[in-house]
Amino acid sequence: MNDRIAIASDNLSASISPLGAELWSLTDAQGRELMTDADPQWWTGHAPLLFPFVGRSRGDVYRLNDVAYPIGQHGFARTSPFTLVHRNEEAALFRLEADRETRTVYPFDFRLDMGFVLEGPSLRMTATVMNRGETAMPFCFGYHPAFAWPLPYGGSVEDHRILFAQAEPAPIRKVGSEPGLIALESVPSPVEGHELAPTHVMFAGDALIWDDLASRSLTWGVPGKPHLKIDFPDTPWLGLWQKPGAHYLCVEPWAGMADPVGFTGDVWDKQGVMTLLPGDSRSFRMDVTLVGAEGEA
């Protein structure tokens, strides 16, 4: 299960672990790593998938029609073995389906397909959630990839910028007094126009969370140097996170988020929870494109 699956184009190579269908590595044509070094001093994750919920449920329990179910932070997909359904030189498709173990914590007959396709300088990722059961299914989904900070193209940590496609003046959210839960109050946006200059100290209190996000695209890197363009058309919210001092920045498009501080409601009342009717499916795309590097098409 730890044997990673490799795919490649002329411009990029990717490696994916069937455990969690987790993207472990993304390198350019010269073999330079674009993702986290996974230094265990900080965090050994790479790009976990967040399903069936994003973030933490209060007390690590959620309530469904007055029944309490235990659930860990970000759900179970990230620690579940996926089946490799299809693979060729440039693409791979992984699948997770409900089984006896998942039904003890999430009593729904789901299917989660996770596809990876390399097209020139772009990695296109698509997650598709399907309800194969006979009742309506509540769920959330999110991406959690950790990109190199700094990227391997020169420039200091301090030179790196997030450039949003749209101006982002709206207040943001942070983690509150209960670990992993969202503070009830908002704080002023750290974005100046379209630009965020991240610093390690920004993340001393955990993630920065945009729940009123205008953009569905951003870039990451040093202005004027090769950088990453990240598109997330199907997810309305965004988290940025790192452990201060680590060599990565997580850019996390979310459809769903953690419980707010003090939340006691049913899962159907949880912010961002979506409903799939029997037989329906919903997809979430995230594209990562390397812009301006040698060897790019």
Q: What is the pLDDT of residues 156-206, one digit of tens each?
A: 999 999 999 999 999 999 999 999 999 999 999 999 999 999 999 999 999
Tens of pLDDT, residue by residue over 130-141, are 999 999 999 999
Tokens encoding 242: 């790192």
- Edge-to-edge strand ranges of the sheet holding 217-221: 83-87, 91-97, 110-119, 122-131, 281-291, 227-231, 217-221, 161-164, 195-196
Nearest Cα neighbor of 51 from 276, 246, 241 is 276
Each residue's pLDDT tens digit, 62-96:
999 989 999 999 999 999 999 999 999 999 999 99
The DSSP call for residue 189 is -
How far are the Cα atoms of 175, 176, 190 from residue 186, in angstroms, in the given order? 10, 10, 12
Which has the closest alpha carbon to 288: 124, 94, 175, 145?
124
Residue 293: which pLDDT band, with cuts at 50, 70 and 90?
Answer: confident
Domains of the chain in sequence order: 5-160+243-291 (2.70.98.10)
Among 225, 43, 201, residue whose Cα is nearest residue 150: 225
Rounded distance between C-alpha atoms, residue 290 and residue 59, angstroms: 40
**What is residue 297's predicted lDDT score, i.e. its pLDDT?**
42
295 pLDDT higher than 70: no
Q: Which residue do the tokens 């990109």 mark?
A: 147
- Please give the single-letter amino acid code of residue 239: G
User: What's the pLDDT score for residue 2?
Assistant: 58
Alpha-carbon gap, residue 276 to 136, rounded angstroms: 6
d(CA 178, CA 90) in angstroms, rounded, equals: 43
Please state the rounded mean pLDDT for residues 224-235: 98
Q: Which two tokens stand for residue 278?
A: 């029997």
The β-bridge partners of 2 are none
**Residues 106, 52: Cα–Cα separation, whole Å:** 8
